Copies of this chain bind each other. A is one copy, B any other.
Amino acid sequence: MDKVFAAHPLMTFGAGLQAPEWYRAIPFVVDKGVDMVDILPGFPNGTFALAPEQRALYHALCTLAGNSTFFLWQKIAHEFRHSLGLPGDLLAPFLHQVVANALQPEAARMATGPVARVVTGKKNIGLRHEAGID
């Protein structure tokens, strides 16, 4: 179809309203070759070009990035509240930092926690066995 363009706001929307700055920070992914200024003059959000044939991959990646973690974290926050007696949003500063770390180009070298501390982990397991803890 001629003069029909795709412009996708890369964001999740709930029933509640947000402050104006929140809306202005949403990036829009638009069809390659389309200039948003031609369609909506004065549109203030950042726009990023994508070839239409890559739209399906793009949307699959967005959905995977958001939904899979949403369901996992919802479960974990529930466990914090009901099994540990801790507030679910205690995880917020940590998880915001995980977002920031994971999206950096050098993220592949930035894994932390027990996964990255293989040497420490093996040493600890050895010490626990020696002490007869396990």
Chain A residues in contact with chain B, CB under 8 A?
A: 10-14, 25-27, 29, 48-50, 54, 57-58, 61-74, 76-81, 83-105, 107-108, 110-115
Contacts and interface: CB of A to CB of B under 8 A. Distances in A.
Q: Is the interface of A mostly helix, strand, loop or mixed?
A: helix
Q: Give the number of times this chain occurs in the complex, counting copies.
A: 2
A107 B12 contact: no
B65 A94 contact: yes
B14 A113 contact: no
Contacts of A91: 10, 62, 65, 103
Contacts of A72: 64-65, 68-69, 102
A61 B72 CA distance: 10
